Amino acid sequence: MFVGHFAVGLAGKRAAPRVSLGTWFLAVQFLDLLWPVFLLLDWEHVRVTPGYTRLSPLDFYDYPLSHSLLAAVFWSALFAAVWAVLRRGRPGRLRIGLLLGAGVLSHWVLDFLTHRPDLPLLPKMGPYAGLGLWDHPALAIALEGGLYALGIFLYVRSTRARDTAGRAGLWALLLLLLGLWLASAFGPPPEEDTPIAWATLSLWLVVFPWAGWVDRHREIGP
Ligand SMILES: [Zn+2]
């Protein structure tokens, strides 16, 4: 899943409006931020097998540290705890920390819908879970596209642009994510291991600051 994760981040802004969209995106994509790092460290592995699922050629045969359920719970708790510590003394920090932690965990739940049963509940030993929606392209695209549209609607309803950057910057970012999603679904399969890791990592290094920048050019309110 790709834009579906960002949809949760966009919707999160409504639940906790004082949290930047950049932070929300970081939370919902935290597991996919760790993943390329772990690939580069050779701690996790992926291979490209065209036709592996009808929508994605990525065979995630080994990603216990970023994508097992136990690890996802751990990263969620860590994210919530770090947030609560960094925001010491501010009202609502526990509630917001828990919301962000839930955002981290939502990543696993959405991946569970689309992936083949390749998500281990426990690292290295399974059992493995996944409903495999990627083998039902029309359903997968309708669900994910619908989630994305809903997320955008909620974000745009709960913030308003202060200036052109807040308006054009937002739509440019949303279109970029949409384009990347469609390219990954309908474009040629990516190259093996390392380019995937670098591409994913460099993408995140652009997306999170961009979302934070857009968010600073918008204010809370309809
Ligand atoms: Zn993922």
pLDDT tens track for 140-170: 999 999 999 999 999 999 999 999 999 999 9
pLDDT at 55: 82
Ligand 1 centroid to residue 35 C-alpha, Å: 8
Measured in Å, residue 91 CA sits from the centre of ligand 1 at 32
Question: Taking all residues of the chain, what is their mean pLDDT, rounded to a whole number?
Answer: 93
Q: Please, which residues have CB less than 5 A from ligand 1, an ion?
A: 32, 111
* Main-chain phi, psi angles of 103, to 5 degrees: -60, -45
What distance in angstroms lies between residue 32's CA and the mean position of ligand 1's atoms?
Answer: 5
Residue 35: pLDDT band (50, 70, 90) is very high
Q: In angstroms, what is the span from residue 82 Cα to ligand 1's centroid?
A: 21
Question: How many angstroms does the Cα of residue 210 sit away from the middle of ligand 1?
Answer: 20
Tens digit of each residue's pLDDT (9 = 90 or more) over 88-122: 988 889 999 999 999 999 999 999 999 999 999 99
4, pLDDT greater than 90: yes
Q: How far is the CA of 104 from the centre of ligand 1 (A)?
A: 10
> Taken in order 59, 105, 20, 147, is the CA torsion positive or negative?
positive
* CA 221 to centroid of ligand 1, rounded, Å: 31
DSSP H helical ranges for the chain = 3-15, 21-28, 30-40, 64-67, 69-86, 93-114, 137-158, 164-186, 193-216
* Better pLDDT: 146 or 46: 146
pTM of the predicted model, to two decimals? 0.94
Task: Kindly state the average pLDDT of the residues 64-91.
Answer: 95
For the chain, give the percent of residues with pLDDT over 90: 76
Q: Distance, CA 67 to ligand 1 centroid (Å)?
A: 7
Task: Please report which confidence band the pLDDT of residue 193 belongs to, taking 50, 70 and 90 as the band edges.
Answer: low
> CA quadruple 198, 209, 70, 185: dihedral positive or negative?
negative
DSSP state letter for 189: P
5 CA to centre of ligand 1 in angstroms: 9
Ligand 1 centre from 110 Cα, in Å? 8
Q: From the CA of 88, how far away is ligand 1's center (Å)?
A: 30
Strand partners, 219: 160
Whether the per-residue pLDDT at 187 is higher than 90: the answer is no
What does the pLDDT read at residue 31? 97
Q: Measure 108 CA to ligand 1 centroid, in angstroms.
A: 7
Distance 168 CA to ligand 1 centre (A): 28
